[in-house]
Amino acid sequence: SCGQLFCGSCRESLEQRGVTNCPTCRAVFDISPKEQVRLLRQLVARSDGRHTQYAQYNLGLCYADGFGVVQDDAKALRWLRLAADKGHARSQFSIGVFYERGTGVAHDGAEAVRWY
């Protein structure tokens, strides 16, 4: 797994053309949430590569939403921070949202702005 799970908007157009696997890593699109988490954990356990930050971001989202794992804001922030520290913009924005809403951390508008 490349850690991106799937591109998002590209998935629909790919599926319309009969493509059922990620064009980056060939992983099957439709796998269970627990299997997605397993593959993401496997990816981040390897040495840093070009897809590691995507896997870290997606693990953060899994923990934030309870997708395939028990919902855990602290673990979500940990994974998001790892990706954010690599320059992953969506992770940085997500951390800002955590601070703005006071989710898993004390509400801190200034810290939220710093991450946005």
Question: What string of H, E and C letters represents the secondary structure of the chain?
Answer: CCCCCCCCHHHHHHHHCCCCECCCCCCECCCCHHHHHHHHHHHHHCCCCCCHHHHHHHHHHHHHHCCCCCCCHHHHHHHHHHHHCCCCHHHHHHHHHHHHHCCCCCCCHHHHHHHC
pLDDT digits (tens, 9 = 90+) for 39-90: 889 888 887 777 788 889 999 999 999 999 999 999 999 999 999 999 999 9
pLDDT digits (tens, 9 = 90+) for 4-53: 554 455 667 777 888 777 777 677 777 788 988 998 898 888 877 777 88
Q: Supply the pTM of this predicted model.
A: 0.79
